[in-house]
Amino acid sequence: MKFQNTLSFARELDSQDALAPYRKEFHFPKVNGSEVIYFTGNSLGLQPKRTKAFVDEIMKDWRELAVEGHFYAERSWWDYHERLAKPLAKVVGAKPAEISVMNSLTVNLHLLMVSFYRPTKKRYKILCEEKAFPSDQYMFQSQIKFHKLEISDTLVEIKKREGENFWRTEDVLAKINEIGDELALVLIGGVNYYNGQVFDMKTITRAGKEAGAMVGWDLAHAVGNIQLQLHDWDVDFAAWCSYKYMNSGPGNASGIYVHERYLNRRDIPRFEGWWGTKKETRFLMQPEFDPMETADAWQISNAPVLAVAPYLASLEMFEEVGMQALIKKRNLIVSYLEFILQEIDKEVESSFEIITPQDRGTQLSVFLHGEGRPLFDYLMEKGVITDWREPNVIRLAPAPFYCSYEDMYRFGQILKEGITKK
Write down the pLDDT at residue 387. 93
User: Which among 23, 4, 8 is positioned nearest to 329, based on CA atoms?
Assistant: 23
Sign of CA dihedral 165, 170, 175, 181: positive
Residues, the chain? 422
Domains along the chain?
7-35+322-420 (3.90.1150.10), 53-321 (3.40.640.10)
Nearest of 224, 244, 194 to residue 93 by alpha carbon: 224
Measured between alpha carbons, how far is 301 from 282 in angstroms, rounded to an integer? 12
* Bridge partner list, 125: 183
**DSSP annotation of 347:** H
Give me the pLDDT at residue 352, please. Answer: 86
- In whole angstroms, what is the distance from residue 28 CA to residue 384 CA? 12
- With b for 16 or more beta-carbon neighbours within 10 A and e for fewer, the 146-170 pattern comes to eeebeeeebbbebebeeeebbbeee
Amino acid occupying residue 83: R
Which pLDDT score is estimated for 350? 72
Predicted model pTM: 0.96
- In this prediction, residue 389 carries a pLDDT of 87
DSSP state of 185: E
Among candidate residues 317, 310, 301, 247, the one with its CA nearest the CA of residue 58: 310
Give me the pLDDT at residue 421, please.
82
pLDDT at residue 373 in the model: 85
∠ CA(238), CA(136), CA(42), 5° rounding? 75
Pairing of strands 254-258, 125-129: unpaired
State residue 81's pLDDT score: 96
User: According to the model, what pLDDT value does residue 6 have?
Assistant: 98
Using alpha carbons, list the distances in angstroms from residue 51 to 23, 46, 57, 310.
Answer: 15, 11, 10, 5
Q: Per-residue DSSP letters for 274-305?
A: GGGB-TTTGGGT-SS--B-SSGGGG--S---H
pLDDT in tens, the chain (422 residues): 899 999 999 999 999 999 999 999 999 999 999 999 999 999 999 999 999 999 999 999 999 999 999 999 999 999 999 999 999 999 999 999 999 999 999 999 999 999 999 999 999 999 999 999 999 999 999 999 999 999 999 999 999 999 999 999 999 999 999 999 999 999 999 999 999 999 999 999 999 999 999 999 999 999 999 999 999 999 999 999 999 999 999 999 999 999 999 999 999 999 999 999 999 988 888 999 999 999 999 999 999 999 999 999 999 999 999 999 999 999 999 999 999 999 999 998 777 899 999 999 999 999 988 777 889 999 999 999 999 988 889 999 999 999 999 999 999 999 999 998 86
**Cβ atoms 188, 167 nearer than 8 A:** no
Bridge partners (DSSP) listed for residue 351? 369
Residues 212/366, Cβ–Cβ less than 8 Å: no
From the list 221, 238, 150, the residue with the least C-alpha distance to 187 is 238
Give the residue ranges of DSSP H helices in 304-404.
305-321, 323-347, 373-381
Angle at which helix 134-146 crosses helix 105-116, to 10 degrees, equals: 40
The CA–CA distances, whole Å, from 213 to 118, 135, 182, 241 equal: 10, 22, 9, 24
Q: How far apart are alpha carbons 192 and 395 in whole angstroms? A: 12
Q: How many CB atoms lie within 10 A of CB 47?
A: 20
Q: State residue 206 phi and psi, 5-degree precision.
A: -60, -45
Q: Tell whether the torsion through CA atoms of 388, 393, 394 and 399 is positive or negative.
A: negative
